[in-house]
Chains A and B, each alone.
Chain A
Amino acid sequence: GAVVSQHPSRVICKSGTSVKIECRSLDFQATTMFWYRQFPKQSLMLMATSNEGSKATYEQGVEKDKFLINHASLTLSTLTVTSAHPEDSSFYICSARDVRTESYGYTFGSGTRLTVV
């Protein structure tokens, strides 16, 4: 089945620095990938839709300049948290959909736990 790989799984960074998270579709091409954020004991909130070769579409309330998304190839999307602050600490998950499959279901990465100190 479709596999989405996400790295790193955990990262600790100092306040004010930037962190890049990678999301790769391993055995399929994904023209669209999605980035979610999850706070403790809460559900997933869609942050943005990453489109290959074009600008990402951000959800209302998500700062474009803070959460930079690049989707340079059909198998890789990156999320960069710029000038990170402690309030950016969260669990970030990416997902993609393999449109070749009949189910059109979503496959998720294993997530990245970001801690800003």
Chain B
Amino acid sequence: KQEVTQIPAALSVPEGENLVLNCSFTDSAIYNLQWFRQDPGKGLTSLLLIQSSQREQTSGRLNASLDKSSGRSTLYIAASQPGDSATYLCAVYTGKLIFGQGTTLQVKP
């Protein structure tokens, strides 16, 4: 059974810091991995999608990596801003999306 774990559960950093969010999954047989952002009481916004054959994807200040063999993905956020405060979810697609518990990020001005 595929399980997705995100560490840390919560993170608070001062504005301007670079930070890394971690995601691990137990079964490497995935089609792709997707990182989402969720603001309180809102739906999910897709940030980055990495296909199983890819190693990383970049969008602006965000960079996501994927090491399928070790079952790990990281989301790197450069020069964090207060507007980055949200919950970040990773999900692996195995025929259906399986989500981690999320990391709640707070960026303090």
Contact = CB atoms under 8 A, between A and B. Distances in A.
A103 B43 contact: no
B43 A93 contact: yes
Contact of B43 (A34, A49, A110): A110
| Secondary structure of the B contact surface, majority rule | strand
B99 interface: yes
Contacts, number: 50
Interface in A99-115: 103-111, 113
B46 A49 contact: no
Contacts of B78: none
A56 B15 CA distance: 45
B103 to A, nearest CB: 11
Size class of the contact patch on chain A = 20 to 34
B34 interface: yes
A6 interface: yes
B32 A34 contact: no
Nearest to A108: B44
Given A34-B97, A103-B49, A106-B97, A43 B43 contact: no
A105 B34 contact: yes
Given A93-B43, A113-B41, A108 B36 contact: yes
> Chain B CB within 10 Å — which of A44, A46, A113 has the most?
A44
A54 interface: no
B96 interface: yes
Interface in A28-43: 34, 42-43
Interface of B: 31-32, 34, 36, 41-46, 49, 89, 91, 93, 96-102
Interface of A: 6, 34, 42-46, 49, 91, 93, 95, 103-111, 113
